[in-house]
Structure 1
């Protein structure tokens, strides 16, 4: 067992065994990844926040700064070679590296960086979630984010914010730098090239997009003129292999080098083979989501009943063995404010759940529709469906890709998982404890609390306080307070596991490291 320790107190686990030997089939300068391409509706950085598409976009577009997978606390240069924070902490000035170019050959300028960041805010899609938190709006962003010359970008803060949080957010995959000249050649009706960037790219990163056929294949070619040097993998192919068993078979045959969505049963089998299983801890959780627009689910006793209807201990030994570990807090393990005891009380107890439902006025139980966020969650929803029946809750399972329904509040009960791109407890707190406007018309689909229609002004206020507080002890106390209030309110998001993302690699693949924020980059990958 090889382990790499993270600053956040989490661990990368790598499982290897030598029951058989795999022979490499793909060329030595080509990386083939088996994944699920169905969850990629767009390649536009402004429209993304999911795992697979974030990886693609992170290789098409470089950021100003980056976070290494083995050290999430140290902000490292990328397109910005240096930066300075003003004495009053209200602005950050980035100096871009000289000589970096886009795939088109155009120089990468501070104006391209300003345009890319402002565009994300103006688009107002899910990619804006992190950066918009610092007070930027479509109306003020041109004023606060600007280029002072070709290599100098000034990022002013509309309100007091801990500057490290702002810089962390600029490492997120949605804030990659786009070739504004190329993109704007394809603008239509003031859409900032939204339609064109759905299926095309204007790259600043190590790779260019060659081909993308939705639900089939995505091909990227290495850039010979990349500022960081030409990558060893001249071509990276992502194949649409949604079935876990097929990923396992293709990995064993050498048809793919990396498998990204392998189920627990196939992982158990692969752990006996000569492969690498890299369990990457994520800043997110597996949850049961209850829509409080439903009058039944709006009742606290009903939500409390749902806390006791999943046999999570059984899941921890089966479906979730490689995908997560039991955790019942909205603060990730090892971060400031996380509890010492990760399991404060959501025990599987169908008899208690029945009693709570009866007290809520449902002596004969409830019937609801149950959505998996996507196909990868189907086994967990099936487990919930079975165990909830013991408590008198009949859940009609509706298979499919339901993340869009979740974002639109168009669901009753849903199971899914989250990820955050900030290596700070604020990153998860803003998802699970923040809802600044509970109206449907606000369309704040980036915030999970809004998705479930839970209005929690006290929590929202604490989250706002935490983003400007710089004293470590005070920040820790704020997150502890949030976590306590959250549990006591019978929340609409029942957290049961902290996620890990298993990546299975053939042993000849070196330098491919799954990233906690899904910004896995291919430029350092080699094959032996």
Structure 2
């Protein structure tokens, strides 16, 4: 461990220009310890995860943005202003004239139109939000257009709340790409997908300097950024997968911000004066059941599974900084969310045994249990231990199983979710929306599809909420969906609402975790 620690510090010292000393990180550089293994590519259109969204949000600007302390106000970014037609079907945006890409090319409405068209045509995970508004490969070119270098026109193919459209434009997957640079690196009509996996072409305050997967990611500030030069001249993200190692480096001052840390290490650093940003999230920790499995297709079995996880001690220990008790698919504090902590999924092994017997399993069940990633392994082990008392035997298969979850290749899985839409619709469309249950539909962006559960009444209500603009009517629809979801019984059992804690070294200011993962580095300073 000592050898690895010294080697890591030497790498940071070398890259940040610290003169080779193993001292505190330089005053003009921010060093973030994280898990870079979660970054498969840097292409905005192909991302939907926390760490890579943070990186992309600093390499690319969006048309609009929302601040972490005010998710209800949509603010200008590359678009200085916008108007909405009387029929609510056309958004006309005026782009600022002083923005340039890292290449030096000016940011134009044509770049913005091409970026939106590209994400729809690629159909990767980054298109999930924007595709919900009715855009397809066949209609997006005619509906999203640039009428002059500064004017972008977005015509909506179907009625939808324009706020939802603007929220999706603020997501990391819609970071505006330098069309000219990207197409100069296109191969065989791939829309520069291969090149953008490991390169950037954005107008953000930082530019990519180096990325070595599972090792280090280095960005340098742009002195010519339209918003002014950031205080940090360099931001380094280092791959530090072991929480104990991260704690040592934070304690020594070699790392400024730590992510993905164990509760015990966070608690120890907090006692020494580190700031803990709780990172309130818009997702949940869940137990997912594949209803293509004949056993799990039975409602009584799914109801029994609501009582097999002893989650209260988990919430007080392992998950202390990573979530809080919550059993609704509407995040706490949002429209339609319960005003008190919802209950129903209490640990009750005897009740679970009774329900399993009623379902035809008096001797219990045996199933394979997958953690969606190594970070969920402890939760999987806790479920295995407590479920045994309820007559459910789990065989755990460690590893990164999110791809299996998206492809319906699992029995039971523990995982967590997040959303980039700061609106209840963002979580309802994950947990209560399945427009096409066929395997060949491949709708891996929808968790209800992943679990192969059809819920046509909920589908109808979620679609209604998409077009509704009256706040009270939307709230009532959200409450209906939440109530109907719990009555299924659901194929995704929620026990905790997710938080993403950031451990911040004393003297570092301006680093604020964003609930939609668009954490930005522009305002970071070091005293």
**Counterparts of 1:298 and 1:117, CA distance in 2:** 38
1:13 maps to: none
2:281 maps to: 282
Bigger mean CA deviation after superposition, 304-313 or 331-340:
331-340
1:267 maps to: 266
2:415 maps to: 416
* Residues 91-122 of structure 1, C-alpha deviations (whole Å, 9 max, x = no match): 00110001210000000000000000111111
* Residues 161-187 of structure 1, C-alpha deviations (whole Å, 9 max, x = no match): 111111111000000000011111111
Contact 1:24 1:508 in 2 (8 A): no
**Counterparts of 1:75 and 1:477, CA distance in 2:** 23
Bigger mean CA deviation after superposition, 97-106 or 332-341:
332-341
**Counterparts of 1:210 and 1:84, CA distance in 2:** 37
Matches within 5 A, 1:25-174: 25-174=24-173
Give SS of 2:422's match.
coil
When the two chains are superposed, the root-mean-square deviation of aligned CA atoms in Å is 1.1
Matches within 5 A, 1:7-406: 25-406=24-405
Q: How far 1:425 moved relative to its partner?
A: 0.7
Give SS of 2:328's match.
coil
**Counterparts of 2:459 and 2:203, CA distance in 1:** 36
Q: How far 1:24 moved relative to its partner?
A: 7.0
Structure 1 stretches lacking a partner, 5+ long: 1-22
* Residues 118-161 of structure 1, C-alpha deviations (whole Å, 9 max, x = no match): 11111101101111110001110001101000000001100011
* Residues 317-339 of structure 1, C-alpha deviations (whole Å, 9 max, x = no match): 11121111100000111111112
Give SS of 2:127's match.
helix
* Residues 423-452 of structure 1, C-alpha deviations (whole Å, 9 max, x = no match): 111111111111111111111111111111
**Counterparts of 1:506 and 1:488, CA distance in 2:** 45
**Counterparts of 2:394 and 2:216, CA distance in 1:** 35
**Counterparts of 2:163 and 2:302, CA distance in 1:** 36
Give SS of 1:174's match.
helix
Q: How far 1:342 moved relative to its partner?
A: 2.4
**Counterparts of 2:478 and 2:425, CA distance in 1:** 8
1:464 maps to: 463
Structure 2 stretches lacking a partner, 5+ long: 1-21
Q: How far 1:294 moved relative to its partner?
A: 1.1
The number of aligned residues is: 506
Runs of 4+ with >4 A deviation:
none
* Residues 343-388 of structure 1, C-alpha deviations (whole Å, 9 max, x = no match): 2311100111111111111122111111111111111111111101
Contact 1:84 1:93 in 2 (8 A): yes
Q: How far 1:340 moved relative to its partner?
A: 2.4
**Counterparts of 1:407 and 1:455, CA distance in 2:** 16
Query: How high is the TM-score relative to the length of structure 2?
Result: 0.95
Give SS of 2:279's match.
strand
* Residues 175-230 of structure 1, C-alpha deviations (whole Å, 9 max, x = no match): 00000111111111211111111111112111111111111111111111111111
**Counterparts of 1:472 and 1:98, CA distance in 2:** 35
Give SS of 2:118's match.
helix
* Residues 375-414 of structure 1, C-alpha deviations (whole Å, 9 max, x = no match): 1111111111110111111111111111111111111111
**Counterparts of 2:341 and 2:497, CA distance in 1:** 10
2:10 maps to: none
Give SS of 1:271's match.
helix
Q: How far 1:474 moved relative to its partner?
A: 1.1
Query: How high is the TM-score relative to the length of structure 1?
Result: 0.95
